[in-house]
Structure 1
Amino acid sequence: MVGNVPTRTAMFAGKDFSSRILESNGYQRSCAREGVAGFCSGLPEALVTTPFQVVKVRMQSKELVQFYRNDFDCLVKVLSEEGTMALFTGLSTTVIRNSVWNGIYFGAIAKLSDWSGPGPDGLAGEIQNLVTGLCAGIVATLFDAPLDVVKSRIQESRPTARRTLPATLIELSREGGIPALYKGFVPKAWRMGIGGAVGFVTFEFVHRRLEKAMSGAPDLGAVPDSITTKDEYETCLGQLSFRDGLPDDDTVQKVYDNLDRSRGVSAFLDMVPLASLEAMRRGLVENGMDAANKVMIFETLMDCSSLFLTGNTDTVYATGLLNLQRDGPTVIEMPPSVGPCTVDDAFFRFVTDMGGPGPDRGAGGKYLILPPGYKGSTPEGYYIATSPTYTNWFVGRGFLREGKPDHAAAEWRDKLKVYPLSASGNPPKMEYLNISGRVMNTIHANDFSFFEEVNAVIQYEPIDFLEPELRGNLAAIGIMKGKPFQPDERMKALLTEAAVIGNATSRAISFAPRDKPEIYENSEWQSLFQGGDYHWLSHGGAGGRNKDARTRFFYVATVNSAAMILKMVGVGSQYAMASRDSEHKYLDGAKTYTLTLPPNVPAKDFWSLVVYDTQTRSMLKTKQLFPSRNSVAHAAEIKQSPDGSTTVWFAPSAPPGHEGNWIQTVPGKMWFLLLRLYGPLEPWFDKTWRPGEIVEVVEPEDFVEASVLVWTLVAPELPSCLRSLEAPPVHSVEVCEEELSGDVYATG
């Protein structure tokens, strides 16, 4: 007791003193720093502890205890007979032993504390410190034990038998080998572990209270560890370092780079709808759409020449731009019974539907689109909608008649009118631009220029067309109305990286969503319009805005319409997207797949399948030009099975006998598919009708190899050309397909 108290005092005081010196020289708290500080504490501890150790060892030695009556007598005789230096016998060994033990002990405490995190207040925190001290003490003793044995052998010697550390180490090794150096290790480890635990807890407890008492400040209560900042953290940004909560220069730079990059990523994800509409505007303007009275029509349908997000090959598009700042309130005269039409603003927000889903219910009529903040009067006889932005895009889809676009194209040309309200007395002559087959791009960028697209919209549109939260994030990366967007080299590099990360995130959200919006259980068919709200509000607004769902939709699609979320049996259209096969693998353009649509597809007008490029999210560019099949335009070519189902093939070349049911794919290109139902019927909404999954077709040679076992079991029922176990020529398999029963072929 007499020796242990000053010994532990010297150890903890020496370590604390060394830690403060290292900290004042810029070394932040770490396992290494605490280990060095502990190592340095070995010297003061040894100076205090060695005299007590000499007396203790003499009294415990069977050979020497006979010379002394008690501890005090031993101390007096050693001083009188051997001199003061005899009390420091083995000092060098003790210094080494204590330094090693202390260094490992305090280093282990630091590492264990980092692993376990800040301890709770009260008794639970003291228990955590107790366990930490116990573990650190045992670990330190594992490395220190040989030195302790050597020290004890040296200190039990009489003056006539002086020993050095190397000589004693060799002597012990010769006597009993390595085990001799770990004599009594288990009890020693427990003793040192328990001592380390008690010492650590006691030191921390007393140290905290002494600091309070000596500060002269009133006891204001303990500061919870949960609100403090440690000196070091290991993060994905690297090491973050603090001095009493203040970040060093390197940490400041790291966190600001991360903040700007993160805001750039958030801006990318939030602004996908805005950039997409801006890219649409630019693409249309570059191809002649520079006035309200100019309308583009895909008179012979859209093919894969044009880059439009998931455009279809099944309807006659008529599209145009409204510039409400230039033209003021603008009129759209909608023809009757052509097809649905939608107006969206510059952030791809819904403004109004026209045609069947709109208030005219397919009868046609005049629509008046008012600019933001309009205060003037409005005439009667119009369906009126106010847009929050100056730029607006409208698109109409004319349905085919007998599989041909002629009627719809003529209806758009003859009856669709667009003009400023101010010119309603003498509207300018309409100009209709046929752009079928036109090579053009309407898709937003995925690199730094994405932010330039966004900035162009911010500069043109009214300041309040975006909510302050979104405007604030854009301003933080340098995009602010009335100010030039001129990022320096550092910010441009960060935003370039942010675009890469934002694009990667958009692709993950689109093609590998975490909240998989399955239409059917255990299916790869997914809904693009997730959440059932065209404002993208979750759970009626209680869950806020589902930003991932919004990003996903606008990264692969266009047109935001209230009608898309409504159950309108026999009206409008419904969509399902698939980008993986039945084995949950992405669709590969080099492979062959089939998709079977069960009988009685629930579409009053027609159904359609279109293949898209995963890079551009536009139609896959193939020699087919129209990478699609639909039940109207291809009615004469598509073959149905006897049960009324339809199997569509996807492959680089047409499978013999299935040319009319084939959509071409491209080796080296991945693809995804959209199923559209025009005039969806009740079985679609109640899910009693369900499309099959996309299934990879086993190539003939693989088919033969994989079916050997089946053939041996059912050979008597197979046609003669397949009874041999030798692989037949490819054409033999094709011929025999017709002979095989459905069950046997499916098994194979």
Structure 2
Amino acid sequence: MSAMRIVALSSLLAATMLAAATNAIARSADNDELLTLPTSKENIEAGLEADAYQTGLSAYIWGYPLVRMERVARQYSDVPDPKPATSYRAPVNQIGWATLLATPDAKDMPTANNDTLYLSAVVDLSKEPFILHVPDTNDRYYVVDVFDMWQNLAHYIGRRTTGTKAGDYAIVPPGWKGKLPKGVTRLDVSTDKVWLWGRLRVNQGEAMEPLVKLQQQFTLRPLSEWKNAKYVATAAKLPDMPDTGSDPLGFYKQLAFALKSNAVPPQDKALFGQFARFGLTKDGFDDSKLTQPQRDALVRALKDGPKVAVSALSSSGTERNGWSWVRGLDDFGYTYPLRALVAGPYLGGQGEKEAMYPLRSTDSRGDQLEGSKKYVIHFNKAPPVSAFWSLTVYNAADKMLVDNPIQRYKLGTDTKGLKVNADGSFDVPLQSTKPDGEFAANWLPAPSGPFYMILRLYQPKDEVLSGKYDLPQVEPVQ
């Protein structure tokens, strides 16, 4: 074959391949809208609106726990006068204890338990570490959770993890380089403020005076005053958060305020950088350059954000026999919707080894639990736990305990007169009116309207953690 013929064939082959490639690109362009979308004013405006929505939604889900914790820090350090016995509020850097179990009148904490006396302390570590002293509780269940300002549960102090002997625990802020006294356990945290959230077990009907004396043996002092038994915390108050009034974008202003005293975690810096596109940066929230469609999109994001958080019950939870619960409350990772949900209506929730919180709002047919109906909950046996268990009913509307004529707000390990069959099984009538029949003593009062329940399992055994224990079914009574 002549050289000219070879060149001609090669040129033809190259042209054929180029045409095929061009046709392939054209065909792919038919399925790639970005390659063909005009850069028109309409498309740009629509894109800015969509971008504001998606970044604004991400900012809400990511930042809600920080805003919530800053709000709680101020709420729980604002002590009413007179202070109710069920309140655990205390000034900054001081321990507050509830001295009575929660009742329907206790409005500070949604889904409060009726099993333990709550402890709360908002601690400012900006100057130095604080040392928490815990007394010997003689095997009585207690736990003090150390939360950072992102609602991350950094440490447990209590029966399961550190035992019930007396001990001293230093809560150390980031960057502190000092030396701690001998015998003090160091607990490092990632923010300059923390929230201590504790629980002390109360057995039904026991005298409260000895428990109050035990509470008084828990102390919180700055490192420089650790050995000063006469130390009294000076009055301290956190700066007010921005008053957003009726500003529909007020959440972002409060988030920007909270970020001034809480650094963006290193693993979140790339995510946070995206929020600059709608005006949220380390310098604050500047909405002066937003278009009206962008503003509308951000308002819509704030409306949809709570729904995304609530969806974590499905996306991050486990459902068994009609009950739903989530694991990993002490290690959220990147599951920001779950962290936001817990920071909201389930503030202070703990990891599953400390406690499990199966939640139920429907009967065996999948219908919403309603006070106009009657139900029976059948336990094959009591939940296997190393501490104790309880079943508590809450109003669906306000997530508070249910007022009732016998003042029974939960049923559990220490319920006096609980009727149990010889094989360990028992039934619980669940209704708004007093029942009759064999198991009337086991009545758990329900409200007149929609409600839900939480089955608390403190220090659950492996049978629960592995799923081998059958959670009780809720059957409607015909």
Using the size of structure 1 for normalisation, the TM-score is 0.52
1:558/1:411 Cα in 2 relative to 1: closer, same or farther (>3 Å)?
farther
* Residue in 1 that maps onto 2:444: 663
The reply to whether residue 631 of structure 1 matches residue 423 of structure 2 is no
Per the alignment, residue 558 of structure 1 pairs with 347
**Letter matched to residue 371 of structure 2:** G
Aligned length: 435
- Aligned AA for 1:269? I
1:377 corresponds to which residue?
179
Distance 1:516 1:631, change over 3 A: closer
1:404 maps to which of 206, 221, 229? 206
Q: Secondary structure at the match of 2:180?
A: coil
Give yes or no for the alignment of 1:592 onto 2:374: yes
Is 1:417 the counterpart of 2:219 in the alignment? yes
Aligned to 2:309: 506
2:133 aligned residue (333, 340, 349): 333
CA distance in 1, matches of 2:204, 2:396: 32
What is the correspondence of 1:75-154 to structure 2 with a 5 Å cutoff? none
Q: 1:516 to 1:677 in 2, by over 3 A?
A: closer
Q: How does 1:51-66 map to 2 (within 5 A)?
A: none
Is the 8 Å Cα contact of residues 230 and 245 (structure 1) preserved in structure 2? no
Q: 2:312 and 2:184 mapped to 1: Cα distance?
A: 40
RMSD: 3.4
Q: Give the C-alpha shift of residue 400 in structure 1.
A: 1.6
Can you give the 5+ residue segments of structure 1 that lack an aligned partner in the other structure?
1-208, 234-241, 432-444, 538-544, 567-571, 699-748
Could you tell me which amino acid in structure 1 is paired with residue 298 of structure 2? Answer: L
What does 1:432-443 correspond to in 2, within 5 Å? none
Tell me the residue number matched to 2:9. none
* Secondary structure, aligned partner of 1:587: coil
The offset of 1:448, in angstroms, is: 4.9
- Picking from 669, 673, 676, the partner of 2:456 is 676
Distance 2:310 2:369 in 1: 15
Compute the displacement of 1:656 (Å): 3.6
The offset of 1:396, in angstroms, is 1.4
Q: 1:466 to 1:300 in 2, by over 3 A?
A: farther
* 2:66 equivalent among 274, 280, 294: 274
2: CA distance between counterparts of 1:476 and 1:322?
34
Deviation for aligned residue 1:299? 0.9
Structure 1 position 528 matched with structure 2 position 326 = yes
Corresponding residue number in structure 2 for 1:646: 426
Gaps of 5+ in 2: 1-11, 81-88, 234-245
Q: Give, in angstroms, the shift of residue 547 of structure 1.
A: 4.0
Taking structure 1 as reference, are residues 625 and 463 closer, same or farther at Cα in structure 2, changes over 3 Å only?
A: farther
| Cα distance change, pair 224–621 in 1 and its aligned pair in 2 (3 A) | farther
Q: 1:297 to 1:508 in 2, by over 3 A?
A: same
Structure-2 residue corresponding to 1:367: 169
> Which protein has the bigger helix share?
1
1:611 is aligned to 2:393: yes
* Aligned residue in 1 for 2:147: 344
| Alignment check: 8 A CA contact 2:204 2:415 kept | no
Question: C-alpha separation between the residues in 1 aligned to 2:345 and 2:272?
Answer: 24
The structure with the larger Rg is 1
1:265 paired to 2:53: no
Cα gap change, 1:350 to 1:533, in 2 (>3 Å) = closer
Separation (CA, whole Å) in 2 of partners of 1:697 and 1:525:
19
The 3-state SS of whatever aligns with 1:494 is helix
* Contact 1:528-1:577 within 8 A present in 2 as well: no
Matched, 1:622 2:403: yes
Offset at residue 555 of structure 1 (A):
4.3
Separation in 2, partners of 1:498, 1:608: 37
Give 1:485 deviation, angstroms: 5.2
2: CA distance, partners of 1:260 / 1:412: 53
**Secondary structure of 2:194's match?**
strand
Letter in 2 for 1:375: K
| Cα gap change, 1:605 to 1:565, in 2 (>3 Å) | closer
Once residues 297 and 335 of structure 2 are traced to their aligned partners in structure 1, the CA distance between those partners, rounded to angstroms, is: 26
Quote the Cα distance in structure 2 between the aligned partners of 1:393 and 1:465: 21
Once the two structures are superposed, the pairs formed by residues 68-79 of structure 1 within 5 Å of their partners are none
Higher RCO structure (Cα 8 Å, ≥6 apart)? 2
Cα distance, 1:367 vs. partner?
0.7
Q: CA deviation at 1:393?
A: 0.6
Question: 2-side partners of 1:625 and 1:457: how far apart?
Answer: 44
Residue number among 233, 237, 252 corresponding to 2:44 in the alignment: 252
Superposed displacement of residue 633, structure 1: 4.9
Q: Which amino acid aligns with 2:131?
A: V
Deviation at 1:314, TM superposition (A): 0.6
Paired with 1:465 and 1:333, the residues of 2 have a C-alpha distance of 32
Change (3 A) 1:344 1:516: closer
Distance 2:302 2:42 in 1: 25
TM-score (norm 2): 0.79
Q: Report % sequence identity.
A: 20
Distance 1:696 1:430, change over 3 A: farther
CA contact (8 A) 1:336 1:355 kept: no
Greater strand content: 2
